[in-house]
Amino acid sequence: MSAATPARHGVGDLPLSWVNEEELKRLDDALGGASPRADALKAFSSLPTEANLLFTGYVDLRAADLEGSTLLAPPLAISELPASELPAGAAALISISARGVGIHLGAEARAAGLTVGPLPGGTPLAGAESDRMTALIGACWNSGTEISLLSGSITAPIIIRIESPAQGEALLARIAVKLGENVSATISEEVAGRSADSGSTSGTTARALLATTSEVTLGKGAKLRLASIQELPEDVVYLPVRRHEFGANSELQIAAAQIGARLVRGRIDHQLTGNGSKVRQVEVVFAGADQLHDLTTYSLHAGEKTVGDLLAKGIFAGKARGFVKGVTTIPRSGRGTNSYLGEFGMLLSKTARSVAIPSLWIDQPDCERAAHGSSVGPIDPNQIFYLRARGLTEAEARRTIVMGYLEPVVAALPLEEEADRLREVLAAKLDAAFAAQLAAAATAA
């Protein structure tokens, strides 16, 4: 196959030449973890791309043009970054990229006992046995970082900056976060990168692959605020896997924005096993052009009196497609669960597509609430009329309405500067989408 024309492949295929035993041996020599890697490889080879047949048997990975990509071998040692790189108001900076892992811990982080080190090679990746994408990372991860805060608390955010590799390269980064009993912390994740034309040396047309985990373990009473803004260039394949284990009465607030990348296949698992544990999740997806987002959130309410409040909002312009799925499971042990799953979509073009599959699986009648809601609608013409009557132009009115629709997610970000930046990014993308819409209408006319 010529390098200029990537091969077509099946909807569920991931054409990765480096998922093999030889590469695994190399990774084991460098980072360790032979046995869990071998198990994960077995799972990757045998599992279907979508193991969950509750809703649909296929996942569209046709945009994953990864043939000919190379699995990176980033430096192993964690380097110290200069203090000048630490953003104002942040407690610590952890930078993960093809160049390796660099950190800088501020005074508050050091005083609280925050540690950042390489992830022990033998650490198994939970979920790798049942999910193919998790198995891929479990087998082939080439970067591992462990962040621990076992006592004390940090008020300022810990910034985790993840940079996608260059075109034709693959970075599979595991990030494990442990919070001890009654510890509280805030993490702000910035996922960005360079676009294909800014430094590829590999001579391949394979896309860049960034796969990440966020393996969070919350001790009893621990509280974590986690924000993530993904602004990858629109030619990257991004496979994020998040798994959150909840101790009794622990709490997680997660706000995530997915804006960039060509293809995002994401999975979030909330394992609410601790009694009284809570998760509040708000997620926004804004896709345009040919972007495809396939995102699933699984919530297992295994503990008693657990709370799950999940809200996803999607905006799809151009030819973008969004598959937003959720599975809420309340087993018999989950007495007194309060669970809500909301999936809402807005289509800004006639060629965009929104698929929502909010599923419930309930074995325990003693629930405080077990519900989901979903809606898809256009921008309400009445709202446009109202705003225009108050002097806004059509474009301003539309922008105001869409930004208002997304605001609950944006406002949940822990740092005000980040929220402002996200507003700017969303507004710019929105203007581009409206401009494309006008151009399309003009062409049609």
Partner 1 sequence: MTVVNPNVRDEREQYAFHDDITYLRETKAGLTEATVREISETKDEPAWMLEYRLRAYKHFEARAMPHWGGDLTKLDFSKIVYYRKPSEREEKSWDDVPDQIKKTFERLGIPEAERKFLAGVGAQYDSEVVYHSVREDLQKLGVVFMGTDQGMKEYPEIFKKYFGTVIPAEDNKFAALNSAVWSGGSFVYVPKGVEVPLPLQAYFRINGQNTGQFERTLIVVDEGASLHYIEGCTAPNWATDSLHVAVVEVIALPGSKVRYTTIQNWSNDVYNLVTKRAHAHAGATVEWIDANTGAQLTMKYPGIYLLGEKAHAEIVSVAVASKGQRQDTGAKAIHLAPNTTSRIVGKSVCKDGGVATYRGTVKVAPGATGVTTSVRCDALILDEGSRSETYPYIDIQEDDTSMSHEATVGRVSDDQIFYLMSRGMTENEATNLIVQGFLEVFTKELPMEYALEFNRLIRLEMEGALG
Q: Is 372 in the site for partner 1 (CB under 8 A)?
A: yes
State yes or no: residue 45 binds partner 1 (CB under 8 A). no
Among 29, 366, 417, 431, binds partner 1 (CB under 8 A): 366
Contact 85, 190 (CB under 8 A): no
The full DSSP string for 157-179 is PEEEEEEE--TTEEEEEEEEEEE
DSSP, collapsed to helix, strand or coil, labels residue 408 as helix
Residue 355 contacts partner 1 per CB under 8 A? yes
Using the rule CB under 8 A, give the single segment among 52-60, 84-92, 254-262, 303-311 that binds partner 1: 52-60
Closest to partner 1 by CB, 230 vs 297, is: 297
Q: In whole angstroms, how close is the CB of 50 to partner 1 at the nearest point?
A: 12
- In the list 148, 202, 374, 383, the residue contacting partner 1 (rule: CB under 8 A) is 374
Q: Count the site residues for partner 1 by CB under 8 A.
A: 37
Site membership for partner 1, residue 110 (CB under 8 A): no
Site for partner 1 in 205-264 (CB under 8 A): none
Nearest approach in angstroms of CB 230 to partner 1 is 24
Q: Minimal CA–CA distance to 192: which of 138, 99, 255, 258? A: 258
Examine residue 351 and tell whether it contacts partner 1 (CB under 8 A).
Answer: yes
- As a whole number of angstroms, the distance between CA 369 and CA 391 comes to 43
> Within 307-336, which residues bind partner 1 (CB under 8 A)?
332
Closest separation in Å from C-beta 362 to partner 1: 5
Candidates 60-68, 187-195, 367-375, 428-436: pick the segment binding partner 1 (CB under 8 A): 367-375
Give the binding range for partner 1 (CB under 8 A) out of 96-104, 121-129, 359-367, 417-425: 359-367
Distance CA 384, CA 398 (A): 6
DSSP state of 87: P
CB 215 within 8 A of CB 177: yes
Distance of CA 76 to the CA centre of its chain: 24
Nearer to partner 1, 276 or 322 (CB): 322
> Pairing state of beta strands 169-179 and 115-118?
unpaired
Compute the C-alpha angle 276/257/253, nearest 5°: 15
Q: Which two tokens stand for residue 194?
A: 């360079």
- CB of residue 99 to partner 1, shortest distance in Å: 42
DSSP 274-310: STT-EEEEEEEEEE-TT-EEEEEEEEE--STT-EEEE
Residue among 253 and 349 whose Cβ is closer to partner 1: 349
Closest CA to 197 of 166, 169, 165: 166
- With CB under 8 A as the contact rule, the residue among 7, 11, 54, 83 that binds partner 1 is 54
Q: Which of 199, 203, 365, 391 binds partner 1 (CB under 8 A)?
A: 365
Q: Does 353 bind partner 1 (CB under 8 A)?
A: yes
Count of CB atoms within 10 A of residue 368's CB?
Answer: 12
- Residue in 184, 249, 345, 399 binding partner 1, rule: CB under 8 A: 345
- Interface residue list for partner 1 (CB under 8 A): 53-56, 332, 345, 347-367, 369-378
